[in-house]
Chains A and B, each alone.
Chain A
Amino acid sequence: MIRPAIEIHDLTVAYREKPVLWDIDAVIPVGSLCAIVGPNGAGKSTLLSAILGTIRPASGWLKIFDKPLDRSEELIGFVPQRESVDWDFPVEVLDVVLMGTYSQLGWFRRPGKAQRDWAMECLEAVGMTDLRHRQVGELSGGQQQRVFIARALAQDTQLILMDEPFAGVDAATEEAIRTVLEDLKKKGRTVVLVHHDLQTIEQFFDHVLLLNLRLVAAGPTSETFTRENLMRTYGGRLTLLDEAAEAVRRIRTGRTRIGRELE
């Protein structure tokens, strides 16, 4: 039996009586790289918030490493959507990464040299040490995303959630994130991320969760990421269906990846 990192049972989340997630049951095993996939408004980010504990479910429960969420001491790493913060904020790169160490510090204590060194290591992992004193607004979108990733690394948690880390980033950032993900997997960490690019799912992720207000399917990519399930997830949206068809075709033919390099 594989140990579950996240166990979701009968989860319903509602904003003002209107359910945005309904009847979710899923298990995400320890050490997996799991993609949450679904159309816009499917409740992907909401599911992350529920796992994080920043919104309260209307019903159902969640367990993180075998403990109910509200009694869990486990800290969860988090990479929010890039658009969720004001990048004009007067703060420099290193300061943002240091936020990842705040939870270990406790009240009133400020990050010291140890935290600073650790934060630099995390910046190194995403190739951003040179830019540590930049104001975050002066970074490109991809670099901002990498700062967020470094901050999550600084949290040094067993479980990390990422909300669309690949959305609108440049090739260098995509590469950096991919390396980070591989490293995390090697270390046995569990990473759950919202992903929108169906083309790359079966190449990066060993687990998928197909979501459209309710759970369409969840499980190992090889069994779950099928044409039927994608049809059920995306319904009649044609362009997406084409994409899905393409992705599925590549599974069948065993091709891994369409070269994206500068064509």
Chain B
Amino acid sequence: MISPNTLVILLGTTALGTCCGIIGALMLLRRRALLADAIAHSTLPGICIAFLLANSRSVVALGTGALVSALVAAALVAWLPRVSRIRKDAATACVLGVMFGAGIALVGLIQRSGSGGSAAGLDGLLLGRTAGMLRSEALTFGCAAIVMSLIVFSLRKELLVSCFDPRFGTSSRIPTRSIDLLQTSLLAATIVIALPAVGVVLTAALVVIPAASARFWTDRFDSLLRISALLGAGSGILGTLISTSHPNLPAGPVIVLSATGFFVVSLLLAPRRGLLSLHLLARSRSRKRTIRHLLDAILDAQLHGQMQIAIDEIPESAIRTDLRSLKYSVQSGWVRREGDLISLTETGRIRATRARKALEIWREWLTSEASIDRDLIDLDEIEIEKILSPELIDTLQRSIDDREMS
């Protein structure tokens, strides 16, 4: 049974996860995932300084401190590469290290200076705590999620062009710099909001992981944002449910582990991009290739007047020791087998001739082209005929014939 208190927490973490998912997808597309990490870690010194100045643990004071130091970190990361030879990744790593180090030092200082009880609260910020979430906080998170969704929805085209091709955006009068600034501010705000629940150390993970998982499922900008938001929300829900039923588990890590669970599932099972389907694809390609070689070898023998060929005369690469490709070819009606002798059926002969011709034309096309895509090398005849237009095939065939004549 879910208690009303848990319901409040659930609302809060769901909203948080949604925010993180949306902004994370945008950061990932800009290849700035690491910036999320740097900003999250950089909030710590701001929080500590705010605590020292205000001498309270009020959400507003600490939140302001966190936001200020997050923005300082973001500005430093943007500014360093422009004025010095430091590259962006190095700048990000430097800022992360320096700010987080300063933060940890300040936490130590505060604890030793004996502010005692309230300092313990700062520890909670490192790993996050959802247990004490207030109804008002949860509502704030909910509003933040709605506002963020609205902003991203209404600025869809501006965000798309500044993520994909900012230089083109600038040239067509889209203020990509302001969009950039907006995006970084949204990131900083999201992180600051997420801090109390997920903690300084792991907030970045909640920003990056759902987005990275979402990329496995789609090739569309809008669905990437949607799926990432959903996965973020899902991680929030799952993490909260687990951590509220096991009081000893800190919320932040559990939420991040839930997100990681979704990531692992995506990595393995996503259609087309998942490891499993990539493996199956590679296997079917390799089987097709073996069969092509097998049919080609028999065709070769036939062209040399040998209507039947013994199995052990077929090159190893074309038949494989387990004879699976041969069995498959026999089943498919391409190859006739009589004892140890094999020969092509009529359909098998047509298939082999077609494959051979396509390959020859393809080779001709490749040699006639200046630039070659790596993806376009290992293709079968069906793909080749799909890619080349019939006229081009004719032209290529003619040029092959010409060369053979001369």
Interface residues of A (CB under 8 A from B): 49, 52-54, 75-76, 78, 80, 84-86, 89-92, 95-96, 98-100, 102-103, 105, 107-108, 110-111, 135, 137, 140-142, 151, 155, 168-172, 261-262
In the bound complex, residues from chain B placing their C-beta under 8 Å from that of A137 are 219
Segment 157-179 of B: residues with Cβ below 8 Å from A = 157-158, 160-161, 163-165, 167-174
**Complex: how many Å from CA A140 to CA B374?**
9
Q: A90-B218, A91-B221 are in contact. Are A102 and B174 (CB under 8 A)?
A: yes
Residue of B nearest to A172 (CB): B392
Q: State in angstroms the CA–CA spacing of A84 and B165 once bound together.
A: 8
The docked-state distance in angstroms from the alpha carbon of A96 to that of B221 is 11
Do B220 and A169 have beta carbons less than 8 Å apart? no
**Cα-based distance from A80 to B172 in the complex (angstroms):** 12
Nearest chain A CB to B12 CB, angstrom units: 30
| Cα(A52)–Cα(B154), bound, Å | 27
Is B399 in contact with A52, judged by CB distance below 8 angstroms? no
B369 within 8 A of A: yes
- Can you list 16 pairs linking A and B with CB atoms under 8 Å apart? A76-B171, A78-B167, A78-B172, A80-B167, A86-B31, A86-B164, A90-B215, A90-B220, A90-B221, A98-B157, A100-B172, A102-B161, A103-B172, A103-B173, A107-B158, A135-B220
Residues of B close to A110: CB separation below 8 A: 156-157
- Report if A84-B371 is in contact (Cβ < 8 Å); known contacts: A92-B219, A262-B395, A262-B396: no
What is the CA–CA distance of A52 and B218 in the complex, to the nearest angstrom? 34
Chain B residues lying within 8 Å of A84, measured Cβ to Cβ, are 165, 167
A102 adjacent to B164 (CB under 8 Å): no
- Residue in chain A with minimal CB distance to B175: A107
Enumerate chain B residues within 8 angstroms of A111, measured Cβ to Cβ: 157
- Besides A99-B168, A100-B172, 13 other A-B contacts (C-beta < 8 A): A75-B172, A75-B173, A76-B171, A78-B171, A85-B165, A86-B164, A108-B154, A110-B157, A135-B220, A155-B172, A170-B369, A170-B371, A262-B364
CA gap between A105 and B155 in the complex, in Å? 12
Are A85 and B164 in touch, CB under 8 angstroms?
yes
Once A53-B171, A103-B172 are accepted as A-B contacts, the answer to whether A171 and B221 lie under 8 Å apart by CB is no
Q: Is B376 an interface residue (CB 8 A)?
A: yes
Given A100, A103, A135, A168, which contacts B370 in the complex, CB threshold below 8 Å? Answer: A168
**A89 and B371 contact, CB distance less than 8 A:** no
User: How far, in angstroms, from A86 to B163 measured CA to CA in the complex?
Assistant: 10
The 4 residue pairs across chains A and B that have the minimum distance between CB atoms: A168-B371, A135-B219, A103-B172, A262-B368
Residues of B within 8 A of A90 (CB): 29, 215, 218-221, 223-224
Q: Are A99 and B219 in contact (CB under 8 A)?
A: no
Size of the chain B interface, CB-CB below 8 angstroms: 38
Tell me which residues across on chain A come within 8 A of B313, comparing CB atoms: none
For B219, what are the chain A residues with a Cβ–Cβ distance below 8 Å?
90, 92, 135, 137
Contact B368 A171 (CB under 8 A): yes
Complex contacts, B396 vs chain A, CB 8 Å: 262
Compute how far the CA of A134 lies from the CA of B254 in the bound complex, rounded to whole angstroms. 38
* Docked CA distance A135–B217 (Å): 13
Considering the chains assembled together, what is the distance between the CA atoms of A96 and B161 in angstroms? 8
The residue in chain B whose Cβ has the minimal distance to the Cβ of A134 is: B219
Assess whether B157 is in contact with A169, with CB atoms less than 8 Å apart: no
C-alpha gap A14/B174 in the complex (Å): 25
Report the nearest A residue to B367, measured CB to CB.
A262
Please measure, in the bound complex, the distance between the C-alpha atom of A100 and the C-alpha atom of B164, giving whole angstroms: 13
- Give the nearest-CB partner of A89 in chain B: B164
B404 interface residue, CB < 8 Å from A? Answer: no
Which of A54, A142, A172 sits near B167, CB closer than 8 Å? A54
| Cβ contact of A102, chosen from B157, B220, B399, cutoff 8 A | B157
Residue of B nearest to A170 (CB): B369
Nearest-CB distance from B396 to chain A (Å)?
Answer: 7
B373 touches A (CB below 8 Å) = yes
Chain B residues lying within 8 Å of A99, measured Cβ to Cβ, are 157, 160-161, 164-165, 168-169, 172
Tell me the complex Cα distance, A108–B165, Å. 19
The answer for the CA separation of A95 and B168 in the assembled complex, in Å, is: 14
CB distance from A106 to the nearest CB of B (A): 10
Q: Knowing A90-B219, A262-B396, say if A171 contacts B174 (CB, 8 Å).
A: no
Can you name the residue of chain A whose Cβ is closest to the Cβ of B373?
Answer: A140
* Cα separation A95 to B223 with both chains bound (whole Å): 14
A248 smallest CB distance to B (angstroms): 23
Partner of A80, one of B161, B168, B376: B168
A142–B373 Cα distance when bound, in Å, is 10
> Which B354-406 residues have C-beta < 8 A from chain A?
364, 368-371, 373, 376, 392, 395-396, 399
A residues in contact with B161, CB < 8 Å: 99, 102
Interface residues of B in 163-198 (CB under 8 A from A): 163-165, 167-174
Given contacts A103-B174, A135-B219, contact A169 B370 (CB under 8 A): yes
A56 to chain B: closest CB distance in Å?
Answer: 12
Measured in the bound complex, the distance between the Cα atoms of B43 and A160 in whole Å is 45
Which of A85, A102, A171 has the most chain B CB within a 10 Å cutoff? A102
Contact A169 B368 (CB under 8 A): no
CB distance from B381 to the nearest CB of A (A): 18
A91 with B164: CB separation less than 8 A: yes
The smallest C-beta distance from A47 to any residue of chain B, in angstroms, reads 14
User: Which residue in B165, B376, B392, B399 is a CB contact (below 8 Å) of A140?
Assistant: B376
Q: How far is the CB of A55 from chain B (nearest CB, A)?
A: 10
Contact indicator B170/A54 (Cβ below 8 Å) = yes
- Is B29 within 8 A of A89, CB to CB? yes
**Known contacts A90-B215, A91-B221; is-contact A142 B172 (Cβ 8 Å):** no
Instruction: Determine how close the nearest CB of chain B comes to the CB of A157; give it in whole angstroms.
Output: 9
Contacts of A102 in B (CB 8 A): 157-158, 161, 169, 172, 174
Find the A residue at minimum CB distance from B370: A168
Interface mask (B120-163 → A, CB under 8 Å = 1, otherwise 0): 00000000000000000000000000000000001111101101
Q: In whole Å, how far is A87's beta carbon from the nearest beta carbon of chain B?
A: 10
Chain A residue nearest to B82 (CB atoms) is A16
Complex contacts, A105 vs chain B, CB 8 Å: 157
| Complex: A24 Cα to B395 Cα, angstroms | 46
Bound-state CA distance A135–B164 (Å) is 13
